[in-house]
Amino acid sequence: SKNGKKEIHKANFEIDLIDAKDGEVVTRFPPEPSGYLHIGHAKAAVLNQYFANAYHGKLIIRFDDTNPSKEKTEFQDSIIEDLRLLGIKGDRITYSSDYFQDMYDLAVKMIKEGKAYCDDTPLEKMRAERMDGLKSERRDRTVEENLKIFTEEMKNGTEEGLKNCLRAKIDYTALNKTLRDPVIYRCNLTPHHRTGSEWKIYPTYDFCVPIVDALEGVTHALRTIEYRDRNAQYEWMLNALGLRKVHIWDFARVNFVRTLLSKRKLQWFVDKGYVSNWDDPRFPTVRGIRRRGMTVEGLKNFIISQGPSKNIINLDWSIIWSANKKIIDPIAPRHTALELKDLVTVNIVDGPELHAEKKPKHKKNPAVGEKDVYYSSKALIEQADAAAIKDGEEVTFMDWGNVICTKVHKDADGKVTSIDAKLNLDGDFRKTEKKLTWLASEKNVPVDLVDFDHLITKDKLDEGDNFEDFLTPETKFTTEAIADVNVESMKVGDIIQFERKGYYILDSNKDGKYVFFTVPDGKQKK
């Protein structure tokens, strides 16, 4: 077919970059160090890396650090670490702040050419004027006046400087409102985490990004689609400054149901103590979902499978967790855990002395290794399973064989107190209705099984919704359980399956307390 070649080149993507020459493509991932990397950022990073690789080009990791009020070294370090975790290194790491002098010089150049002016119109009024397409009273300031205000007052952060901002002189009546003389420089006296108090003025995003892209030799700037209106402005800046052309290429932001992806809002949850920190398993940060059991491979597969779609999507989490399940299912060791509450002892008259036998950790994948399964004449099963057993019923104990439950003892409330049983190891497991998980009454380890709910109750917040009105009251659920002794050799971060329960990741094992988090598998919960 006509698309045959493309399909071979990039299996999942239908679109090529415009004007992309093999070996010459330069992309960049420009996070602002104002929070931890979240899954949306991961998509942007993976896509940028993907295109750099596909064209044998280069990827720049650029810290877009032009707002000292929001940025911190802590965030910067965490972003580098999280990118490394995703296998994204970049050919270089750069900082917008390294270009403060260049940008300043270019701003001065723009003023000299009559393409920018200083404006001290109060914020509200300026906003209204921009909205209504009105001319600012300051638009006709002379070059000399603008230069003086910018290079003396604004640059030094004086009282007069603080009242002003610098605006590009584009077109205050433009239909595209982003062209209505956007602000390109503002004063800020907060020390910068890299440049300290050297600068008291900072370029805005709209000014900084096209300049740094051009200066760094970026050929293709990938941007999320909501910036599309600003593409004209981006191009205007490059033309006004006589800088190299950069291709802009839009892709859709990824959103997830019942999930906030704004760093400011996530910071709110951290500050209020609704979550433990940025790596909380309820958070959509790279660290959060990793702690929840997302594998790097699963995450990458998911992002690549989404491709560079242009539709803004509100995804269900089940999509990404199903992608993850494909990775973990073939290798996750199988173990047993039983809910502690109202455990039932099965007394097996002809049961063996307590002893261990080696069994495979994964029936279909011997490479996963072996575990010790303990057998004894006293076995434990969960109350819910026990309650469903009828007197005389033959059931199958997994990894053991058939057992005939001769008598089910119940108390006055119908709760099972114990079961009398005898082995029928020659019995056919295909003929029993119940395949039960069980543990010998000794050699078990206490564990906590922790499940979580989404932090907010509404699938998609509407414009004007305040997320604080949609907080899920309870989001963490702990069940006490016991597990087979083999979990003692697990390391934090290991992912297993507790049979008939699901996938779990070991989150901590301090003081002999094993805490497991449920790893969602993409199936809807009942």
User: Is 263 considered catalytic here?
Assistant: yes
Q: Of Mg ion, ligand ATP, none, which one sits near residue 254, judging by CB under 5 to 8 A according to partner kind?
A: ligand ATP
> Can you spell out the DSSP letters for 116-129?
EEEE---HHHHHHH
Cα dist. 455→132, 219, 474 in Å? 39, 39, 8
In 275-414, alpha helices (H): 286-291, 296-306, 317-328, 383-387
Q: Which amino acid is at 424?
A: N
Helix, strand, or coil (residue 210) = helix
List 28, 32, 155, 180, catalytic entry: 32
Among 25, 26, 27, 32, which residue interacts with Mg ion (rule: CB under 5 A)?
Answer: 32
Among 17, 20, 30, 141, which residue interacts with ligand ATP (rule: CB under 6 A)?
Answer: 30
> Can you spell out the DSSP letters for 439-489?
EESSSEEEEEEEEE--SBS-SSPPTT--GGGGB-S--EEEEEEEEEGGGGG
List 130, 167, 169, 263, catalytic entry: 263
Among 36, 41, 172, 386, which residue interacts with ligand ATP (rule: CB under 6 A)?
Answer: 41
For ligand ATP, the closer of residues 261 and 270 by Cβ is 261
Strands 165-168 and 439-440: unpaired
Smallest separation (angstroms) from Mg ion to the CB of 354: 60
List 163, 253, 265, 326, catalytic entry: 253
Q: Which stretch binds Mg ion (CB under 5 A): 27-35, 53-61, 273-281, 436-444?
A: 27-35
Smallest separation (angstroms) from ligand ATP to the CB of 344: 48
For Mg ion, the closer of residues 184 and 495 by Cβ is 184
Residue whose pair of structure tokens reads 């070996």 in the numeric block: 23
Q: Which stretch binds Mg ion (CB under 5 A): 25-33, 345-353, 448-456, 486-494?
A: 25-33
Q: Is 206 in the site for Mg ion (CB under 5 A)?
A: no
Q: Of ligand ATP, Mg ion, none, which one sits near residue 41, judging by CB under 5 to 8 A according to partner kind?
A: ligand ATP
For ligand ATP, the closer of residues 197 and 262 by Cβ is 262
Helix, strand, or coil (residue 319) = helix
Q: Of Mg ion, ligand ATP, none, which one sits near residue 515, judging by CB under 5 to 8 A according to partner kind?
A: none
Q: What are phi and psi of 350, to 5 degrees?
A: -105, 25
Q: Of Mg ion, ligand ATP, none, which one sits near residue 68, judging by CB under 5 to 8 A according to partner kind?
A: none
For Mg ion, the closer of residues 254 and 449 by Cβ is 254
Among 10, 40, 183, 376, which residue interacts with ligand ATP (rule: CB under 6 A)?
Answer: 40
User: Is 144 considered catalytic here?
Assistant: no
Q: Which stretch binds ligand ATP (CB under 6 A): 36-44, 271-279, 286-294, 353-361?
A: 36-44
Smallest separation (angstroms) from ligand ATP to the CB of 75: 9
Smallest separation (angstroms) from ligand ATP to the CB of 220: 12
Smallest separation (angstroms) from ligand ATP to the CB of 514: 34
User: Is 32 considered catalytic here?
Assistant: yes
- The residue nearest ligand ATP at its CB is 40
Cα dist. 445→186, 341, 437, 486 in Å? 60, 15, 15, 9
For ligand ATP, the closer of residues 253 and 378 by Cβ is 253
Helix, strand, or coil (residue 141) = coil
281: tokens are 């398993």
492: tokens are 């934090």
Query: Is residue 526 exposed (0-12), middle (13-18) or buried (19+ Cβ within 10 Å)?
Result: exposed
Torsion sign, CA atoms 204, 238, 219, 215? negative
Site for ligand ATP in 209-268 (CB under 6 A): 223-224, 253-254, 261-263
For Mg ion, the closer of residues 38 and 58 by Cβ is 38
Q: Which stretch binds ligand ATP (CB under 6 A): 15-23, 24-32, 84-92, 493-501?
A: 24-32
Q: Compute, in degrees rounded to 10, the torsion defined by CA atoms 240, 244, 250, 251.
A: -140
Q: Compute, in degrees rounded to 10, the torsion defined by CA atoms 65, 224, 205, 285.
A: -30
User: Cβ distance 224 to 252 under 8 Å?
Assistant: yes
For ligand ATP, the closer of residues 226 and 342 by Cβ is 226
CB atoms within 10 A of CB 157: 16
Cα dist. 86→46, 77, 148, 298, 300 in Å? 8, 14, 48, 11, 8
Q: Which stretch binds Mg ion (CB under 5 A): 26-34, 73-81, 167-175, 237-245?
A: 26-34
Q: Of Mg ion, ligand ATP, none, which one sits near residue 31, judging by CB under 5 to 8 A according to partner kind?
A: ligand ATP
* Contact positions vs ligand ATP (CB under 6 A): 30-32, 40-41, 43-44, 64, 223-224, 253-254, 261-263
Binding residues for Mg ion, per CB under 5 A?
A: 32
State the catalytic residues: 32, 253, 263
